[in-house]
């Protein structure tokens, strides 16, 4: 992985294995640090839930990759608008695809954040 970004080794059973360590529940990875994320479903996704991404800004995060659970869905308008206003791009997909994409993009050295809803 580029820099010190954690790798996503596995997902499922309500959590993730990041660089060998199990994390229960959803995770938010910003500036190569994973933290618990209180978003368990799309309805929980708000600009406030992405505050660490917005605070990092576009110099540290060129875009956020959202894994929205088992199905792909459109993130809430308030989230899309907050990221756009901050100059941070947005990519969204189901969590399994986002987990795989995260590993590819961090290996390329991309400056991204990831918000992944556990499945």
pLDDT tens for each residue of 31-80: 999 999 999 999 999 999 999 999 999 999 999 999 999 988 899 999 99
- 69 and 117 Cβ atoms separated by less than 8 Å: yes
Q: Give the DSSP letter string of 38-67.
A: ---SGGG--TGGGHHHHHHHHHH-SEEEEE
Q: How far apart are CA 41 and CA 76, in angstroms?
A: 12
pLDDT bracket for residue 3 (50, 70, 90)? low
Joined together, the tokens standing for residue 103 give 């590993």
> For residue 2, what pLDDT band results from cuts at 50, 70 and 90?
very low
What b/e readout covers 43-69, taking b as 16+ CB neighbours within 10 angstroms? eebebebbebbbebeeeebebbbbbbb
DSSP state of 8: E
Q: How far is CA 30 from the centre of its chain?
A: 8
Q: Which domains does the chain have, with CATH numbers?
A: 8-116 (3.40.1230.10)
> What's the predicted TM-score (pTM) here?
0.94
d(CA 113, CA 61): 6
């Amino acid at each position: 992985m580029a820099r010190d970004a954690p790798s996503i080794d596995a997902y499922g059973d309500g959590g993730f294995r990041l660089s060998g360590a199990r994390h229960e529940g959803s995770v938010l990875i910003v500036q190569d640090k994973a933290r618990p994320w209180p978003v368990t479903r799309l309805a929980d996704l708000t600009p406030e839930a992405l505050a660490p991404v917005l605070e990092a800004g576009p110099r540290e995060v060129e875009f956020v990759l959202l894994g929205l659970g088992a199905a792909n869905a459109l993130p809430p308008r308030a989230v899309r608008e907050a990221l756009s206003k901050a100059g941070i791009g947005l990519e969204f997909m189901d969590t399994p695809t986002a987990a795989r994409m995260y590993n590819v993009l961090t290996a390329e050295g991309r400056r991204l954040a990831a918000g992944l809803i556990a499945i």
